[in-house]
């Protein structure tokens, strides 16, 4: 059901209920005039019944509207071969679903810092600080874009002109002309949440091209080593690693939710799935690092995280990986790296699914305000960067 149909249904329902109540009170007035106690009691009972009916019908209509709204704003899973930056829910609402942030909420609105503004989703440079001005509209404003960075698209109603990133088509805002605010007579009204800021003199991150990643020659490794937030952030720093995805594997269900997995009854494991270039970093090196960055000797536990979803496991994708993983495990057990023997299992990959979007790149998106990131993950990252500094992408 569309929102329009739902609203029409609600309007018709309210008209019917209005007539019902009007009839009810007309009858009630007559009963009061003839002073019939039983009739008064009966009518009060009817009043209660109609009130309940009103509540139920309104609730159903409200539910229909909410469901329709959710369907309208459903975000499809991105193509995993096209690795744009992971977005928060608010960023997705604006950039992917063409929403608008509240005015006056962006730190960029009144900023006069020198540098460039880049696309939040793909890193493409969009505007320079020289073209920024304060329009007092509540949103960051610019009177010109970097050549070729912004595409103009007229809204469906023909009233306004939308602006999107020319590389990833992420929604930026709208452009207005003829307001005489600057000599260029143009105002790009941009959602601050659609942009990042790079200070002058600082190298901007590489643009993520809007084209499928070249997967020829790439390989995939999948490891369970405790909380996937902790594992993802480590392996993504390595040279030769194209991207890392948090997911679930090895359980009874093909597409479990985080809530299901957290209950520890699905058999699913929190895993990091790593796409890498074996010409730059080998699979056996990744497995060796895996055994160094978590404790493989504790059964179904990593630190304070307990449950089968945190078990130590290597999921192999082919027989060669199976052989390599077993050989690395044998060497680890033969060394003095760990006092106790490893309980890591080596299993064929099955029932793998990508975890929810908010789990992706979790540490990088939440390290400033999340206690777990600061207390647990940050020390691991620092230790990893020191130990593997020669293997880390600069």
- Asked whether 142 and 125 are in contact (CB, 8 A), the reply is no
Both 234 and 377 in one domain: the answer is: yes
Give CA angle at 57 (56, 59), nearest 5°: 65
Q: Report the pLDDT averaged over residues 239-243.
A: 92
Q: Which of 119, 165, 189, 230 is catalytic?
A: 189
Q: Are residues 233 and 350 in the same domain?
A: yes
| 56 lies in the same domain as 187 | no
Do residues 237 and 381 share a domain?
Answer: yes
Structural domain that includes position 299: 219-387
pLDDT of residue 51: 55
Q: Say if residues 123 and 85 touch (Cβ distance below 8 Å).
A: yes
pLDDT tens-place string over residues 202-222: 998 999 886 666 678 899 999
Question: Is there a single domain that holds both residue 43 and residue 167?
Answer: no
Confidence of residue 81 (pLDDT cuts 50, 70, 90): very low
In a domain, 74, yes or no: no
Burial of 304 (0-12, 13-18, 19+ CB in 10 A): exposed
3-class DSSP state of 178? coil
Asked if 341 and 271 sit in the same domain, the reply is yes
Among 202, 204, 205, 244, CA closest to 225: 244
Q: Given a cut of 80, is residue 49 above it in pLDDT?
A: no
75 within domain boundaries:
no
Clarify whether residues 49 and 99 are in a common domain.
no
Q: Give per-residue pLDDT as tens, 275-322.
A: 999 999 999 999 999 999 999 999 999 999 999 999 999 999 999 999
Report pLDDT for 373. 93
The verdict on whether 119 is a catalytic residue reads no
> What pTM did the predictor assign?
0.55
pLDDT of residue 393: 77
Averaged pLDDT score across all residues of the chain? 83
Tell whether the model's pLDDT for residue 8 goes beyond 70: no
Pairing of strands 269-276, 161-165: unpaired
User: Cα dihedral sign for 41, 42, 44, 49?
Assistant: positive
**54-58, 74-78, 204-208, 279-283: segment of lowest average pLDDT:** 74-78
Residue 35 maps to a domain:
yes
The yes-or-no verdict on residue 61 having pLDDT over 80 is no
Give yes or no: residues 237 and 313 share one domain: yes
Number of domains in the chain: 3
With respect to residue 209, please indicate whether it lies within any of the assigned structural domains. Answer: no
Average pLDDT over residues 50-60: 43
The pLDDT of residue 50 is above 70? no
Residues 39 and 168 in one domain: no
What DSSP designation does 28 have?
H
Catalytic pick among 122, 165, 227, 230: 227
What would the two tokens of residue 222 be? 């999948």
Q: How far apart are CA 207 and CA 91, in angstroms?
A: 18
Residues 192 and 111 in one domain: yes
285 and 185 part of one domain: no
CATH number, domain with residue 312: 3.30.1060.10
Query: Both 194 and 223 in a single domain?
Result: no
CATH code: domain of residue 139 = 2.170.150.20
Q: pLDDT tier at 89 (50, 70, 90 boundaries)?
A: confident
Confidence band of 377 (pLDDT split at 50, 70, 90): very high
Residues 349, 328: Cα–Cα separation, whole Å: 18
Q: Indicate the pLDDT class of residue 364, thresholds 50, 70 and 90.
A: confident
**pLDDT over 80 (residue 344):** yes
pLDDT band at 44 (very low <50, low <70, confident <90, very high): low
Round to whole Å and give the CA distance between 151 and 169: 8
pLDDT of 225 reads 97
Report, as an integer, the average pLDDT of 11-21: 45
Query: Of 31-35, 150-154, 173-177, 248-252, which range is least confident?
Result: 31-35
Told to judge if 60 belongs to the known catalytic residues of this protein, a careful annotator would answer: no
Once rounded to an integer, what is the mean pLDDT over residues 159-165? Answer: 94
């Amino acid at each position: 059901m569309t929102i329009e149909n739902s609203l029409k249904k609600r309007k018709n329902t309210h008209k019917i209920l209005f007539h019902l109540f009007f009839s009810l009170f007309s009858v009630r007035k007559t009963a009061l005039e003839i002073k019939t106690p039983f009739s008064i009691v009966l009518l009060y009972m009817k009043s209660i019944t109609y009130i309940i009916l009103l509540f139920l019908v309104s609730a159903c209509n409200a539910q229909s509207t909410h469901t329709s709204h959710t369907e309208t704003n459903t975000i499809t899973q991105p193509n995993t071969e096209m690795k744009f930056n992971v977005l928060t829910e608010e960023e997705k609402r604006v950039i992917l679903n063409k929403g608008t942030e509240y005015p006056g909420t962006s730190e960029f609105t009144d900023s006069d810092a020198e540098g460039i503004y880049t696309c939040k989703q793909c890193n493409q440079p969009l505007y320079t600080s020289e073209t920024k001005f304060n329009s007092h509209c509540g949103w960051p404003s610019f009177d010109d874009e970097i050549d070729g960075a912004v595409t103009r698209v007229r809204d469906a109603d023909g009233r306004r002109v939308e602006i999107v990133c020319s590389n990833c088509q992420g929604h930026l805002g709208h452009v207005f002309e003829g307001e005489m605010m600057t000599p260029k007579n143009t105002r790009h009204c941009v959602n601050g949440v659609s942009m990042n800021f790079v200070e002058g003199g600082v190298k901007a991150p590489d643009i993520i091209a809007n084209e499928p990643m070249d997967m020829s020659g790439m390989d995939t490794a999948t490891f369970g080593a405790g909380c996937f937030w902790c594992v993802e952030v480590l392996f993504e720093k390595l040279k030769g690693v194209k991207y890392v995805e948090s997911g679930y594997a090895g359980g009874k269900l093909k597409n479990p939710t985080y809530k299901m997995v957290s209950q520890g009854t699905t058999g699913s494991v929190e895993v990091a799935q790593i796409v890498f270039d074996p010409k730059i970093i080998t699979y056996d090196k990744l497995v060796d690092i895996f055994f160094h960055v978590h404790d493989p000797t504790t059964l179904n536990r990593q630190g304070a995280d307990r449950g089968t979803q945190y078990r130590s496991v290597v999921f192999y994708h082919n027989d060669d990986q199976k052989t390599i993983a077993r050989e690395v495990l044998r060497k680890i057990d033969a060394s003095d790296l760990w006092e106790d023997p490893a309980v890591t299992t080596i299993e064929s990959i099955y029932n793998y699914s990508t975890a929810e979007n908010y789990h992706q790149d979790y540490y990088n998106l939440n390290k400033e305000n999340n206690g777990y990131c600061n207390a647990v993950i940050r020390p691991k990252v620092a230790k990893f960067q020191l130990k593997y500094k020669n293997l880390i992408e600069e």
